[in-house]
């Protein structure tokens, strides 16, 4: 009876400690050598298949074989309540050890609050030296510390209905090889498609600037900034530059352009749905994951989707990018922090586990590598946008406030407020 009670006590203690991270005895190791296993908790947002327990279990199996002295448990978050769970865990003193997300949260939010461990030592390796400079800059807080070690990246794009463009004789306005176009050609394409739709008595729009909330705002920001070379922040990420001549000019162009609609009542998801139902000819919120999801989930998607960079009058487009990687919450336990860094090194330093980690995210490496999607036509097609990734400015202070101000600005314009009036009160950090 005593043995049974002792075993139950050990198991209950293991469960309790695992919920917050900690060291638990490994029964087999203890019997043979008295060893201990450091328990870590990884919380992961749904970054591709990093939100899929089966896929993550496969990645962890390889890690546990290589490092039996460390055990990683996983909790899967979503974007509806993930931030709330993190905040509550920190408040309760029961934060996870590792988290998979991007600099927007790890640097500008949790890092700004002093919750994250400094990963600067990880950035001194040869592998880290190969990471693209714009990725490196996004992972570093203005205090000089690094709160993210990245694994993958993506550049968000837009999409057009290729069939509708062909029928409207608008393919002449895009470069099909580079998936780019100029601002002038974008205007001509919208005019051609608007005439095409009008002639057929269609009530849809060529393109929709959705602004019900902040969802998909990376698309509307990139559209406005690219048209005339504007920016959303200054180069040092200390202030917002929405109220600039270039941005005002772009917003006014879009407002005046027949076929482009500002829709305060529509979310990005609803705009995507209209595009897939052929109720619009282009969609400003798109990426490779979106095409995969819509191909599976949308029965109305019976046309060729052709991904495009946002139109620009300054040569190379600058797309809004996404970066995802690992951060470590600083719980004061150096042994756990060291073990968490071992996990990051395993997932990022050697090409085989690193490639598996990137492919699980369905995005692209943050350092120069051969095409890891050589036999995947869709991923290879979308890889053309990676070199167009522009400045990652989502680490600017008061970013959450700026996101809200952006969709509210678009909504005001859609409701008739003059562009110059709408932009002048855009907030900047104090």
- The pLDDT averaged over each successive group of 10 residues in the chain (430 residues) is 34 40 40 71 94 95 97 94 94 96 94 96 94 93 96 96 97 97 98 94 87 94 98 94 97 97 95 93 93 80 95 93 96 97 97 96 92 91 92 90 95 95 85
Q: Which residue has the tokens 């599976």?
A: 296
Helix axes 351-361 and 334-348, enclosed angle (nearest 10): 90
The pLDDT score that the predictor gives to residue 220 is 98
Question: Which pTM was predicted?
Answer: 0.82
The pLDDT score that the predictor gives to residue 204 is 66
The pLDDT score that the predictor gives to residue 9 is 35
The pLDDT score that the predictor gives to residue 201 is 85
Q: How far apart are CA 350 and CA 353, in angstroms?
A: 6
Phi, psi for residue 215 in degrees, rounded to 5: -60, 135
Which pair of structure tokens corresponds to residue 34?
């008295």
Phi, psi for residue 296 in degrees, rounded to 5: -80, -40
The pLDDT score that the predictor gives to residue 430 is 63
The pLDDT score that the predictor gives to residue 327 is 98
DSSP summary character for residue 173: G
Q: Which residues contact 392 (CB under 8 A, 6 or more apart)?
A: 103, 134, 135, 137, 138, 321, 323
How many residues does the structure list for the chain?
430
Contact (Cβ atoms closer than 8 angstroms) between residue 208 and residue 266: yes
Q: Identify the burial level of 424 via C-beta atoms within 10 angstroms of its C-beta, where 0-12 means exposed, 13-18 middle and 19 or more buried.
A: exposed
Phi, psi for residue 153 in degrees, rounded to 5: -150, 160
CA–CA distances in Å: residue 288 to residues 7, 294, 302, 358, 378: 49, 10, 17, 14, 8
Q: Which residues contact 20 (CB under 8 A, 6 or more apart)?
A: 41, 93, 94, 95
> What's CA 18's distance to the chain center, in Å?
29
The CA-to-CA distance between both ends of the chain, in Å, stands at: 65
CA–CA distances in Å: residue 22 to residues 16, 38, 97: 9, 6, 9
Contact (Cβ atoms closer than 8 angstroms) between residue 182 and residue 312: yes
Q: How far apart are CA 103 and CA 141, in angstroms?
A: 9
Q: How far apart are CA 56 and CA 63, in angstroms?
A: 11
The pLDDT score that the predictor gives to residue 18 is 40
Contact (Cβ atoms closer than 8 angstroms) between residue 277 and residue 300: yes
Q: How far apart are CA 233 and CA 279, in angstroms?
A: 33
HSE, side-chain direction, 13 A CA sphere, residue 170:
27
Q: Which residues contact 96 (CB under 8 A, 6 or more apart)?
A: 21, 41, 42, 43, 75, 86, 89, 329
Which ranges of 93-152 does DSSP label H, i.e. alpha helix? 103-106, 133-139
């Amino acid at each position: 009876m005593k043995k049974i009670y002792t075993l139950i006590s050990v198991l209950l203690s293991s469960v309790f400690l695992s919920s917050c991270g900690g060291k638990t005895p490994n029964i087999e190791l203890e019997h043979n050598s008295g060893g201990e296993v450091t328990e870590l908790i990884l919380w992961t947002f749904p970054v591709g298949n990093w939100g899929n327990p089966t896929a993550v279990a496969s990645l962890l199996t390889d890690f546990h074989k290589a490092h039996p002295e460390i055990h990683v448990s996983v909790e899967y978050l979503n974007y509806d309540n993930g931030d709330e769970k993190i905040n509550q865990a920190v408040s309760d003193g029961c934060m996870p050890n590792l988290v998979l997300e991007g600099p927007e949260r790890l640097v500008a939010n949790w890092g700004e609050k002093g919750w994250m461990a400094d990963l600067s030592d990880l950035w001194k390796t040869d592998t880290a030296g190969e990471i693209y400079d714009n990725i490196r800059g996004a992972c570093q807080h203005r205090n000089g510390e690094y709160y993210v070690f990245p694994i993958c990246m993506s550049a968000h794009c837009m999409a057009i209905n290729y069939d509708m463009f062909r029928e409207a004789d608008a393919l002449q306005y895009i470069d099909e090889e580079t998936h780019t176009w100029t601002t002038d050609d974008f205007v001509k394409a919208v005019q051609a498609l608007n005439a095409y739709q009008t002639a057929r008595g269609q009530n849809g729009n060529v393109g929709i600037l959705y602004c019900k909330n902040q969802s998909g705002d990376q698309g509307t920001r990139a559209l406005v900034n690219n048209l005339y070379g504007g920016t959303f922040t200054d180069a040092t990420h200390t202030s917002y530059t929405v109220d600039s001549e270039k941005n005002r000019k772009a917003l006014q162009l879009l407002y005046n352009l027949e076929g482009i609609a500002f829709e305060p009542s529509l979310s990005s998801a609803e705009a995507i749905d209209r595009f897939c139902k052929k109720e619009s000819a282009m969609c400003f919120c798109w990426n490779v994951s979106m095409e995969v999801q819509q191909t599976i989930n949308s029965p109305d998607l019976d046309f060729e989707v052709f991904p495009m960079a946002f139109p620009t009058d300054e040569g190379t487009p600058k797309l809004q990018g996404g970066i995802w990687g690992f951060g470590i919450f600083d719980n004061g336990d150096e042994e756990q922090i060291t073990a968490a860094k071992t996990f990051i090194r395993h997932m990022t330093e050697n090409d085989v586990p690193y490639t598996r980690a990137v492919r699980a995210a369905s995005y692209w490496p943050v350092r120069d590598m051969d095409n890891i999607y050589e036999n995947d036509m869709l991923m290879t097609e979308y890889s053309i946008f990676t070199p167009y990734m522009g400045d990652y400015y989502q680490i600017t202070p008061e970013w959450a406030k700026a996101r809200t101000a952006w969709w509210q600005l678009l909504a005001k314009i859609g409701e008739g407020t003059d562009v110059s009036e709408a932009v002048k009160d855009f907030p900047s950090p104090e």
